[in-house]
Structure 1
Amino acid sequence: MKTIEKLLIALALTLWINVNTFAQDQAATDDGPVFVTMTTMHWNPDPETDFSDWLKTEKEYFEKVTSKNDLILDSGLYTHYFTPDNSELMRVNVYRSWDDIEKAQEENNRLLKEAWPDEKARQAFLKKQGSYYSPQHSDEIYVSLPYYMPASKSDKPMIYYMKKSDLSMNPEGNPENFKEYYDKVTSKNSKLKGYYTMRHRWGSNSRDLVEVFVFDKLGDIEDAFAEEGELMAQAWPDEAKREAFDKELGKLFTGKHADYIYRSIPELQKN
């Protein structure tokens, strides 16, 4: 038992070191890091499911519960655009602290009872809301990194391109290179309407580093890639130095990454 306990402590310490090494410049954020929960859900595959009131139902919950919960700093529901599974939806919530994740659920329950005092009516609403989704879901928790450009609230759907990269988690890569790239390239890309970075805190892959790029429309992703190349050439005019920097930056990662594109639902967005 003591051996297992020591292993768990060692694992927790390793993850803590990796998170804090990569996020060493926390002073770059306004109030320090936040915690981000991502729940991947799926539409109910039953062909008899009636989705006609789906948005109305989710808006009612959002207005009576999520929008009134001050422990939830930011929230959004995002639908599949280009991902491996077209049944996917992603629910994202942002919290000030780890403790607030649990406290926010307690507050949700209080607000639910306040909005639907009659228990039968409350259970009927929750049953209806749950009927749109499959019981299958997965949860991930991330901690934010100090490289971000907040997206403004929009009354139209926005494109969210999420890139999950595998960190090499060895001493060869220097996180300062990531910061330099962000300062000289990412933050100057005119096509970006928002940008967020976060690091694995709890979930299936301890190597995860997630970047979220926000765009007005799908075509802007390709334009942003083209502009990225131009910005790199401006930042490192000498080709040899540019290639050397790119090689050093690459040491932070294993070279493996996955891409996902979602679309926001403005009526269900809390900023």
Structure 2
Amino acid sequence: MKNVSNLGLAMCLFVCPFLFAQESEPETDDFKPVFITMTTTHWNGDPETDFSDWLETEKEYFKKVTSKNDLIIGSGFYTHYFTPDNSELVMVNVYQNWDDIEKAEEMNQKLIEEAWPDETERKKFFDKQTSYYGKEHSDEIYQTMRYRKPLTERSEKPLIYYVRKSDLAMDGQGKPENFKEFDEKVTQKNSKLKAYYTHRHIWGSNGRELQEVFVFDKLGDIEDFFAEEENLISSAWPDEKEREQFMGDLNKLFSGKHGDYIYRSVPELQK
């Protein structure tokens, strides 16, 4: 992890000055940023692959390893719902700080050896677990931002996660306080939104990336969310010219390029 850590630090030093300034302002609440690792992998496309025991296998690993690793303060498993690739899966882990990412891997290895002390049985289990997935995957690391509306209770049913990936303009034209104002006057007041999270790129393939994650009970709530958002925008800025001016200034934070992805959570694999 030393090479990764050094590269991640370099990327952070390059990217952070162009990001939202209030992230470095004195905090007025209890917000403390944490680190998120996201591994995007894919189902094994071999038609001979038997997926009948997939969930039970992952539940066993979750119970014996992830749930016992205190350095992993949160985790989730998300499957394709509406994305460009129906084989896509996203595995997420959350850590208090950068160093814990490496330490947690060491703890995982210790827990694995304790859970499967017999080397033959251990290999058998992980061969089965690995067989569900293709060889292609990508890894990204993000840092959380203060714009959030956390889940208030654990759901026993799958939730819908709508992810908006936007490229930051990084040209100094946009004002971060506009995003803060929009969050307070619109996003936080939307009754259709079950939870909301923002995080920024720290290490990975796209140094401009900002992710917003909108959480809903069901797919139909997304359409209702956007309808209510329009009403909230009109209420917050009733004067049309002022509204257009504000939204124009807000959009200066971004390049205009974004992608939309919808995933479904696996409740049995969430921490």
SS of aligned partner of 2:71: coil
Q: Equivalents in 2 of 1:13, 1:241: separation in Å?
A: 36
Q: 1:26 to 1:18 in 2, by over 3 A?
A: farther
The equivalent residue for 1:42 is: 42
SS of aligned partner of 1:121: helix
Supply the AA of the counterpart residue of 1:223: D
Shift of 1:26: 6.8
Q: Within 5 Å, which residues of 2 pair with 1:182-201?
A: 182-201=183-202
Q: Within 5 Å, which residues of 2 pair with 1:203-242?
A: 203-242=204-243
Find out whether 1:133 has 2:130 as its counterpart.
no
SS of aligned partner of 1:23: helix
Q: 1:214 to 1:25 in 2, by over 3 A?
A: farther
Shift of 1:17: 1.8
Runs of 4+ off more than 3 Å: 8-12
Q: 1:260 to 1:17 in 2, by over 3 A?
A: same
Supply the AA of the counterpart residue of 1:163: R
Q: Does the 8 A contact of 1:83 with 1:260 survive in 2?
A: yes
The equivalent residue for 2:3 is: none
Q: Does the 8 A contact of 2:19 with 2:170 survive in 1?
A: no
RMSD: 1.6
Q: Equivalents in 2 of 1:22, 1:162: separation in Å?
A: 23
Find out whether 1:146 has 2:146 as its counterpart.
yes
Normalised by the size of structure 1, how large is the TM-score? 0.93
SS of aligned partner of 2:77: strand
Shift of 1:127: 0.8
Q: Equivalents in 2 of 1:136, 1:238: separation in Å?
A: 51
Q: Which structure 1 segments of 5+ residues have no match?
A: 1-7
Q: Equivalents in 1 of 2:19, 2:36: separation in Å?
A: 14
Q: Which structure 2 segments of 5+ residues have no match?
A: 1-7
Q: Does the 8 A contact of 1:160 with 1:261 survive in 2?
A: yes
Question: Percent identity of the aligned residues?
Answer: 64
User: Which deviations, in whole Å up to 9, do the C-alpha atoms of 1:50-73 show, x marking residues without a partner?
Assistant: 000000000000011101111111
Q: Equivalents in 1 of 2:64, 2:9: separation in Å?
A: 41
Aligned pair count reads 263
Q: 1:23 to 1:12 in 2, by over 3 A?
A: closer
Normalised by the size of structure 2, how large is the TM-score? 0.93
